Structure 1
Amino acid sequence: MTLTTLVGEGWDDYGLVDSGGGRKLERYGPYRFIRPEPQAMWEAALPAAEWEEADGEFIPASDEDGGGRWYFNKPVPTEGWPLGWREARFTASCTPFRHLGFFPDMAPVWDWLRAQIADKPDPAFLNLFGYTGVGSQALAATGASVTHVDASKKSVAQARDNAALAGMTERPIRWIVDDAGKFTAREVRRGRRYDAILLDPPKFGRGPNGERWQLEEGLASLLADCRRLLDADSHALFLTVYAVRMSALAIGELLSQLFADLPGKVECGELAVREEARGLLLPTAIFARWSR
């Protein structure tokens, strides 16, 4: 199986300015932030003085539990500020989890999925672990009906607010607070089908009723149910995996087995974002995808 790199480029409201020394400098609209990035093992391209002009930096905790806090050099709106990607609109903010309310490296994934369903009339799209809904907006903008599922009531509420910000309140988007595994299993029992599915699961999580999600334990069965929601007329499935000791080849082979009875192809590889300072590619995640 050939490995592919899917590269995200910057746009007006986002860019990877520079990276190095275990950190990355990014722009989010009018603000610049520094966040930890273990994969940036090289030296930064820009002088230290330019990094010191950042509006804020997330400093990780000394333990391995993913904690830490933001430190600000300049005033940053605590309620967030508006950003956009193509037709999508959303509010960015400095969350306690080190990110800013959306994942910019997913931009080429949204573009790829949009291309897969471009010739499909009234496509049905399932977005599992949909978070703040930028991906749901990206697909709804094409005319797709979207089912957005996330276990966090707060994230789904923010996704609805983001859709309102984009003027997509009347688009056919179902907003569902549920455990992804339980929801998908019920959809299988209901005999539902989709034209495309996006899965962006966390390493660990909790469902709305305390359901435990562990990526290594739950991924295979979840993908098996997703396969049952697709048929020979479906177009695509895209899976991203972050921050785990797992190979792109491993998840690619898993998809190859599950999709062996459907026409099309399975590909796997890495997501990366292109740095603006020198064009260097910063890897962010691994992925596997099926397309007809």
Structure 2
Amino acid sequence: MKLETLIGEPWADYALVDSGGGRKLERYGPHRFIRPEPQAMWQPASLDWVADAEFVPGADDDGGGRWRFDQPVPKGWSLAWHGLNFTATPTPFRHLGFFPDMMPVWAFAQDKLAGREGATALNLFGYTGVGSLAMAQAGAAVTHVDASKKSVESAKGNAALSGISTVRWIIEDAGKFVAREVRRGRRYDAIVLDPPKYGRGPEGEVWHLETDLARLLADVRLLVDENSSFVFLTVYAVRMSALAIGALMRQIFADLPGRVEVGELAVREETRGLLLPTAIWARWVRSD
């Protein structure tokens, strides 16, 4: 199975400026941040990084830590991508309120949905909604699902900033929602899912990627048919292989016409053009 790398290029409001030594320096609009990055095993282009804030990881392996601010940073500020507006903000989970390396997924979804009259799209684990807004901008009727009320409220705020009012917002465990849609006989033209390694639903539901992904994908398969456009899965658990999730999707979607493609997500460093890998992905795409 051939692996393809989808590359997030720098844009006006975001860039991976430099990376190395287990860290990365990024620009989010007018502000710069340093965050841990275990995959940046090389040496940085410069040893003299200047940033507004740095995330200092905790002693454990569970993502703990805190932000250290060297310059005042607002609680939130607006960024733009291809006519969409959304808010960046430092969060306790070391990221800035959205995932810029998902830009190739947003672009792919828009390309596939553009001009598809009456298209419907589902964004599972939709977080703060940039992917949902990208699909809505392409003309799709989007259903955005996330178990976090706070994330959905942030997504609604981003939709308001972008002038988009056509997204249906659902606060629910993704697995429960998909199972209910299957029982209702619903179908979608496009589905994007970005599940976490571990998570909890609003009613205490527990999600473990390694044990629950196959069941969720089997239900997702029942929400698409031969006339659907694509299903796009991204995974940030580094212990999984792109080949593994590709084989899983190939098995589950074997009865549909089309192809399964797999690979990695990466961000291009602005300074030297190095590619920093961030996630793995697999997608089923209908044959044109």
Class of the TM-score when normalised by the shorter of the 2 chains = over 0.9
Q: Map 1:44-193 onto structure 2 (within 5 A).
A: 44-46=44-46, 48-49=47-48, 51=49, 53-77=50-74, 79-169=75-165, 172-193=166-187
Q: Percent identity?
A: 70
Contact preservation (8 Å) 2:238, 2:279: no
Following superposition, the deviation at residue 32 of structure 1 comes to 0.3
Q: Deviations over 1:175-215 (max 9, x none)?
A: 00000000000000000000000000000000000100010
Asked if residue 266 in structure 1 is aligned to residue 263 in structure 2, the reply is no
Partners of 2:154 and 2:100 in 1: CA distance: 17
> For the Cα contact (< 8 Å) 1:116–1:291, is it kept in 2?
no
Partners in 2 of 1:223 and 1:205 — Cα distance? 17
| Residue ranges of structure 1 left out of the alignment (5+ in a row) | none
- The 2-side partners of 1:247 and 1:27 are apart by 29
Which of 198, 205, 229 is the equivalent residue of 1:204?
Answer: 198
Tell me, what secondary structure is at the counterpart of 1:219? helix
Structure 2 residue corresponding to 1:284, chosen from 278, 281, 285 = 278
TM-score by length of 1: 0.97
Shift, 1:96, TM fit: 0.3
What is residue 28 of structure 2 aligned with on the other side? 28
* Counterparts of residues 231-242 of structure 1 (less than 5 Å): 231-242=225-236
**Match of 2:234, SS?**
strand
Question: In 2, distance between residues paired with 1:263 and 1:119?
Answer: 21
Q: Tell me whether 237-246 or 89-98 shows the greater mean CA deviation.
A: 237-246
Question: Which range moved further: 220-229 or 240-249?
Answer: 240-249
Contact 2:115 2:139 survives alignment (8 Å): no
Structure 2 alignment gaps of length 5 or more:
none
Equivalent residue number for residue 215 of structure 2: 221
For the residues of structure 1 that align with 2:239 and 2:62, how far apart are their CA atoms? 16
Q: Distance in 1 between matches of 2:27 and 2:17?
A: 7
Q: CA deviation at 1:88?
A: 1.6
2:115 and 2:96 map into 1 onto residues whose CA distance is 33
Q: Give the TM-score normalised by structure 2.
A: 0.98
2:98 counterpart letter in structure 1: F
Q: Give the C-alpha shift of residue 244 in structure 1.
A: 3.7
Distance 1:243 1:3 in 2: 17
Moved more, 79-88 or 217-226: 79-88
**How many corresponding residue pairs?**
286
Structure-1 separation of matches of 2:237 and 2:43: 22
Cross-structure match for 2:43: 43
What letter is aligned with 2:109? Answer: L
CA contact (8 A) 2:113 2:139 kept: no
Deviations 1:152-172 (A, max 9, x none): 001001100110011113xx2
Within 2, Cα distance between the matches of 1:201 and 1:64?
Answer: 19
**Runs of 4+ in structure 1 over 6 Å off:** none
Checking the alignment, whether the CA contact within 8 Å between 1:156 and 1:177 is kept in structure 2 is: yes
Q: C-alpha offsets along residues 259-281 of structure 1, whole Å, 9 cap, x if unaligned? A: 11111110101000000110000
2:12 maps to 1:18: no
